[in-house]
């Protein structure tokens, strides 16, 4: 498992493409604006491109949620300014039903794929993998650049769908047929649906290019001494995330191709025995359930594609800020592996109400409850890492603790939903919305915020404003619970999701004040995120400058590079690794970097560092 040498091929390729100034880590040759900032092959610049593109999408996607929350909280009121924004989709200041479904669809698509998949993995895999394993760049910098530009192209196509006359896709973020397969079924199933499918196909290509690059870099380009059991947990998490994506995204693409054929080539993969406006269609023999199998075979690994990078970031940030070794390193790696393996065999728990054979359903119940075990191991290890630690409450560590909180509270309700008998009652209710927004949406966003606050100095050579970071954290954490916790009770009462107006339902009128409260909090939290955006861009230019290469006193390799590393990361030789990544509060020292050789008495102990973690 030991990597023998710094790879000759890697060094040679680097020398051909990058001339290093050994004095400051910057390049000799002049780069044009386009080669440095636009079509960059430097993994650090590509990380910034993913991050800022993801932030733009996050504002748009979260903005959509504010708009449809206005409809849910105040269904009888009109807001004249809405017509200014949405035009004929909100005549008289009242969102139309078609616009409502389009907003919900685009909100889910944007946040899950464009922000939490591309924004989170694209940013931190690109930034951290070469820096933390000790590589000059990715295995293929050109393929890395392409992965961003395919994502950008997907973004352009998705954005275009917002401006077509019939509007964007409106069949839900899952785009179930037959609604998505028939252009005549709804106004949101026309050109907007085609653009949605084209955008998602480009997105899948981006993810595959990125994922293959991440796996190749981690396996082949680690510096001397960087054995697998010395890699930081961030790298393990990003590695398993890439494996999940490479194996499951092609299945989603095949599902989309079949959907396009049903839409335009007269096939019947998903269509059978349908009537539209009283007219029988000629399609026979297809099954809409087939699409659900293909979609959820990606859709459930997707949950872990979103959450694993956040888990890795949180593990790293908590260990650094608790000034303690991560508790149970090998258990953490093992649980990441277990989650990755089990993620492929639990997809049908999304389909308990599709008429599945109950005997088959019982297997998916067992496997779904089983996947809670490695997640529980991780939670236990995070809590024991924090326990009796000398905690530094930076914005990054607070968001990491917030992640653990929302992951526990949101994850516990997953045990309910994983039980098929209970799921039949709460499926497609607000209980599901509450569960996955807390465990996946909020938790993953918290992991992303923790990573941005923590590695911002590495990316930009400046600090973000700490006071604004504290304000951002507390309002976001409290707001997240106030928004999503009450939805559990609405769901248990049977309140269905995706409905446009609940005011005509006698049984759900009781929730009108609660829905208004949730809407007010959602608007407040949204504007708090704009405070974060202001902090980010203000700090970019005016933030306090970094004066040391290792501001957090961390042990990992990225803090051994210059403050503003050039393309190639290290001006001289790549450092050699001698120990694991979590030697904190050891031998009377606050921290021991990975580059410091082990002492003879350490070697004599013959005990893996991960097994001597103090509690």
CA–CA gap between residue 553 and residue 530 (Å, rounded): 30
Number of Cβ atoms within 10 Å of the Cβ of 187: 18
Flag the least confident range among 15-24, 260-269, 393-402, 530-539.
15-24
Let me know: does 299 contact 350? Beta carbons within 8 Å: yes
CA atoms within 13 A on the CB side of 541: 3
The answer to whether 196 and 183 are in contact (CB under 8 A) is no
Average pLDDT over residues 583-590: 87
- Domain membership of residue 79 (yes or no) is yes
Query: Averaged over 532-555, what is the pLDDT?
Result: 93
Confidence at residue 283, expressed as pLDDT on a 0 to 100 scale: 84
State the pTM of this model. Answer: 0.91
Tens digit of pLDDT for each residue in 174-222? 999 999 999 888 898 899 999 999 999 999 999 999 999 999 999 999 9
The stretch 101-105 carries a mean pLDDT of 95
pLDDT of residue 1: 42
- Report whether pLDDT(4) > 70: no
Mean pLDDT of the chain, nearest integer:
89
Residue 576 has pLDDT above 80, yes or no: yes
Per-residue pLDDT, 5: 40
Is residue 309 very low, low, confident or very high in pLDDT (cuts 50, 70, 90)?
A: very high
**Distance, CA of 321 to CA of 319 (rounded, Å):** 6
**Pick from 483, 368, 344, 474: nearest CA to 421:** 368
Q: Can you read off the two tokens belonging to residue 310? A: 């956040």
Structural domain contains residue 565: no
Cα–Cα distance list, 441 to 110, 317, 326, 419, 496 (Å): 12, 19, 25, 22, 20
Does 468 fall in a domain?
Answer: yes
Percent of the chain whose pLDDT exceeds 70: 93
Residue 30 forms part of a structural domain: no
DSSP letter at 615 equals -
- Beta strand 589-591 with 279-280 is unpaired
CB distance 320 to 394 below 8 Å: no
Q: Is residue 4 a part of any domain in this protein? A: no
Tokens read off for 518: 């949730």
Give the pLDDT of residue 10: 41
What pLDDT is attached to residue 490?
Answer: 94
Scanning 183-232, the segments in alpha helix (DSSP H) are 191-220
610 assigned to some structural domain: no
CATH code, domain carrying 376: 1.20.210.10
Model pLDDT for residues 119-158, shown as the tens digit of each residue: 999 999 999 999 999 999 999 999 999 999 999 999 999 9
pLDDT computed for residue 9 by the predictor: 40
Judge whether 572 lies within some domain.
no
Cβ-proximal residues to 112 (8 Å cutoff; 6+ apart), any chain:
173, 302, 306
At 281 the pLDDT is: 87
Q: Which domain holds residue 185?
A: 45-273+280-546
Rounded Cα gap, residues 471 and 528, in angstroms: 8
pLDDT of amino acid 13: 39
pLDDT-based confidence at 603, cuts 50/70/90? low
Residue 392 inside a domain? The answer is yes
The DSSP 8-state label assigned to residue 577 in this structure reads: P
Q: Report CA torsion sign: 595, 601, 604, 607.
A: negative
Of the candidates 108, 112, 109, 114, the residue with the CA atom closest to the CA atom of residue 55: 114
| Interaxial angle between packed helices 395-417 and 288-322, expressed in degrees from 0 to 180 and rounded to the nearest 10 | 140
Least reliable range by pLDDT among 10-24, 259-273, 482-496, 590-604: 10-24
Instruction: Please say whether the beta carbons of 591 and 584 come within 8 A.
Output: yes
Q: Is the pLDDT of residue 21 over 60?
A: no
> How confident is the model at residue 605, as a pLDDT?
53
> Could you tell me the CA-to-CA distances from 27 to 12, 18, 145, 458, 563 in Å, in that order?
16, 7, 19, 18, 15
**CB distance 307 to 246 below 8 Å:** no
Q: Taking residues 256-277, report their average pLDDT.
A: 92
Query: DSSP E strands: which ranges in 267-418?
Result: 275-276, 279-280
| pLDDT value for 7 | 42
Residue with the bigger pLDDT between 32 and 90: it is 90
How many domains is the chain built from?
1
> Is residue 351 predicted with pLDDT exceeding 80?
yes
29 pLDDT tier (thresholds 50, 70, 90): low
What is the predicted pLDDT for the residue at 479?
97
């Amino acid at each position: 498992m030991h990597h023998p040498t710094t790879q000759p091929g890697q060094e040679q390729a680097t020398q051909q493409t990058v001339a290093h100034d050994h004095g400051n880590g910057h390049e000799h040759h002049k780069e044009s604006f386009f080669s440095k900032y636009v079509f960059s092959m430097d993994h650090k610049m590509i990380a910034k491109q993913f991050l800022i593109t993801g932030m733009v999408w996050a504002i748009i996607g979260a903005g959509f949620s504010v708009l449809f929350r206005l409809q849910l909280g105040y269904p009888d009121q009109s807001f004249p300014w809405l017509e200014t924004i949405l035009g004929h989709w909100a005549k008289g200041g009242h969102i139309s039903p078609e616009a409502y479904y389009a907003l919900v669809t685009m909100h889910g698509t944007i946040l899950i794929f464009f922000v939490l998949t591309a924004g989170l993995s694209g940013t931190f895999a690109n930034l951290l993998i070469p820096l933390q394993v000790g590589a000059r760049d990715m295995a293929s910098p050109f393929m890395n650049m392409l992965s961003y530009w395919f994502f950008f192209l997907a973004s352009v196509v998705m954005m275009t769908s917002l401006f077509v006359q019939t509007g964007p896709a409106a069949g839900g973020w899952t785009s179930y047929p037959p609604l998505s397969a028939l252009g005549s079924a709804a106004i949101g199933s026309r050109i907007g649906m085609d653009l949605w499918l084209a955008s998602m196909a480009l997105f899948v290509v981006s993810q595959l290019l990125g994922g293959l690059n991440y796996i190749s870099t981690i396996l082949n380009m680690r510096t001397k001494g960087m054995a697998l059991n010395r890699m930081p947990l961030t790298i393990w998490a990003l590695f398993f995330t890439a494996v999940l994506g490479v194996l499951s995204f092609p299945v989603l693409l095949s599902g989309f191709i079949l959907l396009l054929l049903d839409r335009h080539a007269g096939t019947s993969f998903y269509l059978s025995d349908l009537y539209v406006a009283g007219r029988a269609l000629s399609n026979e023999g297809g099954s809409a359930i087939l699409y659900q199998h293909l979609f959820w075979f990606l859709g459930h690994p997707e949950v872990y594609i979103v959450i694993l990078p956040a888990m890795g970031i949180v593990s790293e940030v908590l260990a650094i800020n608790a000034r303690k070794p991560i508790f149970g390193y090998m258990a953490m790696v093992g649980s990441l592996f277990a989650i990755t393996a089990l993620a492929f065999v639990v997809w049908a728990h999304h389909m308990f109400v599709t008429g599945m054979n109950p005997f088959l359903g019982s297997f998916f119940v067992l496997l779904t409850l089983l996947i809670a075990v490695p997640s529980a191991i991780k939670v236990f290890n995070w809590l024991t890492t924090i326990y009796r630690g000398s905690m530094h409450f930076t914005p990054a560590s607070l968001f990491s603790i917030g992640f653990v909180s929302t992951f526990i509270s949101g994850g516990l309700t997953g045990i309910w939903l994983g039980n098929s008998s209970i799921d039949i009652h709460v499926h497609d209710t607000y209980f599901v919305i509450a569960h996955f927004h807390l465990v996946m949406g909020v938790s993953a966003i918290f992991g992303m915020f923790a990573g941005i606050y923590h590695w911002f100095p590495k990316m930009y050579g400046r600090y973000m404003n700490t006071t604004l970071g504290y304000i951002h954290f507390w309002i976001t954490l409290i707001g997240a619970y106030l928004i999503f916790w009450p939805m559990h009770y609405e769901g248990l009462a049977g309140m269905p999701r995706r409905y446009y107006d609940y005011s005509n339902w006698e049984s759900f009128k009781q929730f009108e004040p609660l829905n208004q409260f949730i809407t007010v909090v959602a608007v407040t939290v949204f504007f708090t995120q704009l405070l974060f955006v202001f902090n980010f861009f203000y700090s970019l230019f005016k933030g306090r400058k970094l004066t040391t290469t290792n501001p957090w006193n961390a042990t990992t390799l990225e803090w051994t590079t210059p403050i503003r590393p050039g393309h190639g990361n290290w001006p001289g030789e790549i450092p050699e690794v001698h120990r694991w990544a979590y030697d904190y509060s050891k031998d009377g020292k606050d921290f021991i970097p990975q580059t410091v050789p082990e002492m003879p008495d350490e070697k004599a102990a013959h005990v893996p560092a991960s097994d001597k973690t103090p509690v």
